């Protein structure tokens, strides 16, 4: 008997990386017109942003079905394995609900489904910690408990080029969008308990990065026992500027940078830059 770890593709873990980590990826979907693509399977990140920039209408996104989870739950049940499932915030996607339905269908109690309350690199931090604990021989129940505690300490901050994509995708109110786009400000957002909020709006990249540094100081000191992850949509230029500023301010050393995938990129839009970390 072993422990199986499942996450979804909004964790921005590639298929190759998932194989190296010995975890299972469940893809979400992005739909351009009448054509549906499984994230990371039928479309590359580069190909997605090329289509996004050219698209006349914003693509839509779709969560996995319960059947997408059920196959893996049944395989784990047959093997007598424990299953840990880490997923994008339930307030942002129906992915968590699909997994819960699949657990009932599987009729198997040894499945721990965790609502990450976050997305992208922040979800990745939880997955990486789950892998670490599994490889150390920690039991599934203890891993789930530790991840629930760790979830409360994860900080998600992002600098967007515009809030229009979040509004069009139904993730943010029009009033917040108007405030964020006045005078071409760059909005700073956070995800707290699965809810997106605007915590600042600055004119220009340098001021926006400065606001992110201020927010880090306000939200709590970075715990260097855990990785700091940076994410970017389409281009990484602004993310590299943020990385340099963070190194200067906090002497963080090794920070990992990843492209943000199709589903989150649909709502964030091109030109976004994300930082996620664990606070002390």
Domains and CATH numbers, the chain: 3-28+63-151 (3.40.50.10440), 154-278 (3.30.1180.10)
Q: Kindly list the averaged pLDDT for each block of 10 residues, start to end, along the chain of length 280.
A: 96 95 97 93 91 85 96 98 98 97 98 97 97 98 98 95 61 48 74 91 90 93 93 92 92 88 88 94
Strand order in the sheet with 256-259: 195-202, 186-192, 154-159, 273-278, 229-232, 256-259
Identify which of 268, 273, 280 has the alpha carbon closest to the alpha carbon of residue 246: 273
| pTM of the predicted structure, to 2 decimals | 0.91
pLDDT score at 163 = 67
pLDDT score at 210 = 94
């Amino acid at each position: 008997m072993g422990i199986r770890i499942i996450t979804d593709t909004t964790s921005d873990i590639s298929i190759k990386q998932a194989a190296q980590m010995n975890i299972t990826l469940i893809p979400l979907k992005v739909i351009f017109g009448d054509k549906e693509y499984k994230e990371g399977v039928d479309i590359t990140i580069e190909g997605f942003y090329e289509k996004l920039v050219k698209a006349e209408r914003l693509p839509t996104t779709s969560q996995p079905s319960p059947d997408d989870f059920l196959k893996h739950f049944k395989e784990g049940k047959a093997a007598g394995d424990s299953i840990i499932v880490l997923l994008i915030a339930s307030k942002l996607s129906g992915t968590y609900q699909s997994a819960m339905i699949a657990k009932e269908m599987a009729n198997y109690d040894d499945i721990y489904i965790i609502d990450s309350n976050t997305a992208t690199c922040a979800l990745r931090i939880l997955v990486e910690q789950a892998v670490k604990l599994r490889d150390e021989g920690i039991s599934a129940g203890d891993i789930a408990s530790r991840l629930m505690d760790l979830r409360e300490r994860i900080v998600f901050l992002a600098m967007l080029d515009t809030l229009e994509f979040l509004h069009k995708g139904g993730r943010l109110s029009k009033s917040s969008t108007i405030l964020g786009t006045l005078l071409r400000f760059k909005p700073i957002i956070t995800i707290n308990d699965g809810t997106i909020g605007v915590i600042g709006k600055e004119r220009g990249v340098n001021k926006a990065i400065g606001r992110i540094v201020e927010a880090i100081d306000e939200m709590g000191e970075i715990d260097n026992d855990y990785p700091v992850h940076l994410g970017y949509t389409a281009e990484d230029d602004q993310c590299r500027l943020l990385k340099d500023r963070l190194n200067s301010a906090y002497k963080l050393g090794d920070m990992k940078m990843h492209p943000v995938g199709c589903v989150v990129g649909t709502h964030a839009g091109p030109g976004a830059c994300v930082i996620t970390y664990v606070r002390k």
